[in-house]
Structure formats: structure tokens, C-alpha cells
Amino acid sequence: MLWELAAIWIIVAATVVWFIRDERRLRFEKLNERARAYATAPAWRHQPAPIRRVSPQAAERDLTDIQRKFLEEMRRQRQR
């Protein structure tokens, strides 16, 4: 019976060690892949985003009907 318990614990310990070593190996491979990509990629690969210019007509189209009516009323009151 004692040898069966020892065999179980040996199997458990071997499985844990195997798992930890495999996880470390996977982490090292990912780090190595990232380092290789960083070392071989072009230095200035960043491209600035294009600047979008919003026309005044597009801004008015974004308003709802009630907002548009409110703004028109404000313009009329300002002109008085």
C-alpha cells in the first residue's frame, strides 16, 4: 500500500513539474517571437491617422428635428 501512495505522489509531482516546465517554455517562445518581431520590424512603421474634416452640412445632419428647430429659434431670437 505504501508503494501505491508513493507512486501516486511521484506521478502527481512529475505532472506538476511537466506542466510548469511546459508553461515556462511556452512563455519563453512567445517572448522570443515578440523579440524577433521587434528586432526585424521597420523602425518607423507607425502611420498617423488621416485627419477627417467635418463639413458644416454634416454637422447639421447629425441633429435631430427638435434640436434643429431649437437652434433655428435661437438664431431668430438673436437676430431680433
Domain membership of residue 50 (yes or no) is no
Q: What share of the chain is helix, strand, coil (3-state, %, to 5)?
A: 75, 0, 25
Domain membership of residue 74 (yes or no) is no
Domain membership of residue 34 (yes or no) is yes
Q: What pLDDT is stored for residue 59 in this prediction?
A: 58
Could you report the average pLDDT of every consecutive run of 10 residues in the chain (80 residues)? 94 97 97 92 76 69 83 89
Domain membership of residue 11 (yes or no) is yes
Q: Print the domain residue range for 15.
A: 1-42
Query: DSSP code of 63?
Result: S
Q: How many domains does the chain have?
A: 1
Domain membership of residue 64 (yes or no) is no
Q: What pLDDT is stored for residue 63 in this prediction?
A: 77
Domain membership of residue 62 (yes or no) is no
Domain membership of residue 54 (yes or no) is no
Contacts (Cβ under 8 Å, ≥6 apart) of 60? 68
Domain membership of residue 66 (yes or no) is no
